Every structure is written in C-alpha cells, then in structure tokens.
Structure 1
Amino acid sequence: MDWDNIEPDRYRLMNKNFTPGRAGHQIRYIVIHHNAGCLSIDQIWQVWQTREASAHYQVDVEGTIGQLVNDTDTAWHAADLLRNQESIGIEHANSAGPDADWPISEATRESGAHLVAALCRYYGLGRPAWGVNVRPHSETGQTSCPYRLGPNGEYGNAYITRAQYWYDQMGSATPTPAPPKETPVTDDQTALLRQIRDNTADCRAMLMALSAQDMGDPGVTGPYGGWSQTGYRTRTDLLGAIGEAVGVPGARDTKKEK
C-alpha cells in the first residue's frame, strides 16, 4: 500500500452497484464496516455482484487492502444517499464467524487504521476521531455493524488510537493538505437533511441498535438481533424460553428449536 498516494495493494473494481462521481459533494468522513463474514477481496467482489451494495475498500484477514470503488465515485455502503456521496466506506474482514462472535485479526485492524489515517491526511479531514471524521455504519440504519470495531466495541478505542498514531507519523514527513472547500448548498432539502443527520445521528444509532436487538432480524445471524446475554434472544424469545422451562402451557423456546 502506498499510503501517501492512497494506492491500494490490489484493485478489484466493481462493474456495477455503485454510482459514478459524487454529484458535486466533497468527502467529509470515513464510514467503518465489518463483513460479518471471513471474505477475501475477490469474495466480497462476488457478493456485491448479486447484492446492491459496495464499499470503496476491503481489508482482508491478512491486512491486504483492496480497492473496489474509486474514491471519486459513490459506493453504496451507508444506507443513505447523502452519506454515500460524502463518505468513503472501509470494510474489514472477520477472522472467524458468529460462534466466535465475529473477531477481526490484528493485521486487519492495523491496516484498516493505517488506511483511515492516510485517507484523513490525503483529503484534509483532520486527525481521526469517532463521531467527527470517522463514523460507524450503525449511525445510518438498523445494524450493529461494525460491531466489535465500532466506537463502543471491544476494538474501537484501540483502532482509533492506532489511526491517530499513523496520522501523526505521516504528519512528520507530509504536510496536512488544506481542507477541501465545501460545495455551497443550494438545495434546501439537502441542507435540511444534513442538519437533521448531524444533530440526531447518535440518538438514532442508539435507538436503531436497541430496536434491532429487541425485535431481532430473522435474515441475519449472530449479534445483529437479540441480546448476547440471552443467547441472542429478544425479550419475547426470552419470555417464551422461561415459560417453557417453568411449564407455562403453550410457551416455547423457539431459539432452542432452531
């Protein structure tokens, strides 16, 4: 990886499921994801051939960085058009699956943090910081992604600390470029969406995460739905399990049946 010029280890550019250009928007921050899978650069390319999604970068389990969408184009990763247009998405491969609670290797975390630092330097975004120029995917929808890699996850604090370390190291040899000028907002609706997004992102992320855990998501396995301390059962699942255990007629532990 050429950190100064943002040249990845590999190019595996998408041929669909992204939008050319950014409709005049400047890059303002980076969105962090995890795969919820142990995917290589080629494998995630294949996934996005049949799924309407993409991100700019994939960091594999060995720390190799692949580029799938050019920085100048809009990847479909943040579940919101304006966020997609104003951000760069970085996916991180997991080193094991749901039985191990979706760990991420040290090599992946280190390369990902270094990439965050390099992007912040290159685009003049400032020193990496959660909630400022580095944001979790969970801000934008009903998802726990990036789970253990997010600001409240097991790896989150160390990840951003390493990104700050690399940002500072790069600063010793490379001056920080001037921040890009904001494109003047002429569309009242876009301005309103930006204001709502910036003022309510944290509250919405919290509420959506609680909703995802409490209601569950039958289409996704692992910690995405339900509560970890109940074996990823929702509160309704837990009442059914307790009812079956104490002999309440009709009560069933549906998680056990699966």
Structure 2
Amino acid sequence: MDEAGALWLPSPNYFPDRAGHTPRWIIVHGTAGFSSAEEVGRYFQQADVSTHYTIGRDGVIVQSVREHDGAWGNGGITAGHDPWWTCDINPNNVTISIEHVKPHRDNSDELTQLQKEASFLLIQHICERHQIPTRKANASGGITGHRSMDPVMRGFCPGPYPWDELFAFLNASS
C-alpha cells in the first residue's frame, strides 16, 4: 500500500502503470451513497469502477488501487470541462482519485471532522509523494473535484468540500 494505515481492499479495475504517465492532479469525489469506506472498497472489487482511496465518515481510509496505476474513477470528459483536460489522454492516467463517503445520493453531506482530517493528511501525503502542487488545479496540476472534468454527469461531485480549509492546511504545512 502507498498510504500508511490504509486498509487494502484491492480492485481489479485499474490501468497498469498509467500508460507511462505520472499523476499531476488529485481528484476529490463523493460516493453519492454507501455507509462506509469498507463497503465502497468491496463494491470496487465487483463493479467496473474504482478509485485509489475511499475515506469513511469515521476517518477510515481504504486503498483499492496502487498509486502507480490509474484507477477507473473519473469516466470521460464532458462539455464545459476545465480547459486543461483533453480527450487525447485518459484522465485516469494522470490523476489520483479519492472518494469521500457521503450517504445521500446527491452528495449533499458535509464531511465529518474525522473524514476531513483524514482527507487533508492523505492529500498532503499524495502531493509530497508525487510533487503535485498543493493548490487549486490548473493546467500544471493541483487538486480539484470530479466536476472539473465532467460537469454534465458529475456536476454534483464531490458536493460540499472544505476547499478553503484544505488549502490553508496545505499552505501551513509546507
């Protein structure tokens, strides 16, 4: 596993070795259902989808795909996407995806305190491991939500996320 303390529930759904690409962005997701990170991890073992990590409401982190591989979590790029996404490269091969358990189907749940703390630390560690910029995403990399690449189908993803607190935490830690 890549993140110390994460529970390993491997998914068979990944792109080996990222087709030679390196991760430049972290994509924040909301699960739009489910009650625990372990439940999502088991789902990723059966369904044709996956993300690298899932963070439960209790702060538990499940890893389903190794960071050197691309997860099947982002789907396609749709109209209205942020300008740096291109259909020439599978976005899964240049991103690390983190799900946050949100029981409501519309992703309207706020993160719990434990979930927020686990998310901030995980993002910090991933940025350090891969030299991903610790700021809002742009063409050079960074951190953004799923809606950045798929505003048509995933405009509600990740739902509420404490972006300002995240960037303040990352800036204070660097």
- With the shorter chain as reference, the TM-score category is 0.7 to 0.9
Task: Give the equivalent residue in structure 1 for 2:126.
Answer: 119
Shift of 1:140: 2.5
Is the CA contact 2:145–2:157 (under 8 Å) kept in the aligned structure 1? yes
Matched letter for residue 9 of structure 2: R
Matched letter for residue 161 of structure 1: D
Is the CA contact 1:117–1:128 (under 8 Å) kept in the aligned structure 2? no
Q: Residue 120 and residue 107 in structure 1: after superposition, are their counterparts in 2 closer, same or farther (change >3 A)?
A: same
The reply to whether residue 146 of structure 1 matches residue 142 of structure 2 is no
Q: Is the partner of 2:99 in helix, strand or coil?
A: strand
Matched letter for residue 30 of structure 2: H
Task: Give the equivalent residue in structure 2 for 1:164.
Answer: 167
Matched letter for residue 120 of structure 1: C
Is the CA contact 2:26–2:95 (under 8 Å) kept in the aligned structure 1? yes
Distance 1:89 1:115 in 2: 11
Q: Is the partner of 2:20 in helix, strand or coil?
A: coil
Cα deviation, 1:63-115, whole Å, max 9, x if unaligned, reads: 11111100011100111462100000000012x42599434322212211221
Percent identical among aligned pairs is 22
Cα deviation, 1:98-134, whole Å, max 9, x if unaligned, reads: 5994343222122112211221122112223245511
Counterpart selection for 1:10 from 7, 11, 15: 7
Shift of 1:138: 1.3
Q: TM-score, normalised by structure 2?
A: 0.77
* Runs of 5+ consecutive residues of structure 2 not aligned to the other structure: 77-88
* Runs of 5+ consecutive residues of structure 1 not aligned to the other structure: 150-154, 172-258
Cα deviation, 1:122-152, whole Å, max 9, x if unaligned, reads: 2112223245511211122211342423xxx
State which structure, 1 or 2, has the greater radius of gyration over its C-alpha atoms.
Answer: 1
RMSD: 2.4
Q: Residue 130 and residue 25 in structure 1: after superposition, are their counterparts in 2 closer, same or farther (change >3 A)?
A: closer
Is the CA contact 1:117–1:163 (under 8 Å) kept in the aligned structure 2? no
Q: Residue 37 and residue 163 in structure 1: after superposition, are their counterparts in 2 closer, same or farther (change >3 A)?
A: same
Query: Higher strand share goes to which structure?
Result: 2
Cα deviation, 1:187-214, whole Å, max 9, x if unaligned, reads: xxxxxxxxxxxxxxxxxxxxxxxxxxxx
Is the CA contact 2:14–2:71 (under 8 Å) kept in the aligned structure 1? yes
Q: Is the partner of 2:96 in helix, strand or coil?
A: strand
Task: Give the equivalent residue in structure 1 for 2:83.
Answer: none
Distance 1:85 1:99 in 2: 27
Is the CA contact 1:120–1:167 (under 8 Å) kept in the aligned structure 2? no
Matched letter for residue 42 of structure 1: E
Which of structures 1 and 2 has the larger relative contact order (alpha carbons within 8 angstroms, sep 6+)?
A: 2
Matched letter for residue 86 of structure 1: V
Alignment of structure 1 residues 231-242 onto 2, 5 Å: none
Is the CA contact 1:57–1:69 (under 8 Å) kept in the aligned structure 2? yes
Distance 1:99 1:79 in 2: 18
Matched letter for residue 102 of structure 1: D
Q: Residue 21 and residue 164 in structure 1: after superposition, are their counterparts in 2 closer, same or farther (change >3 A)?
A: same
Alignment of structure 1 residues 156-195 onto 2, 5 Å: 159-171=162-174
Distance 2:105 2:15 in 1: 32
Counterpart selection for 1:87 from 95, 101, 112: 95
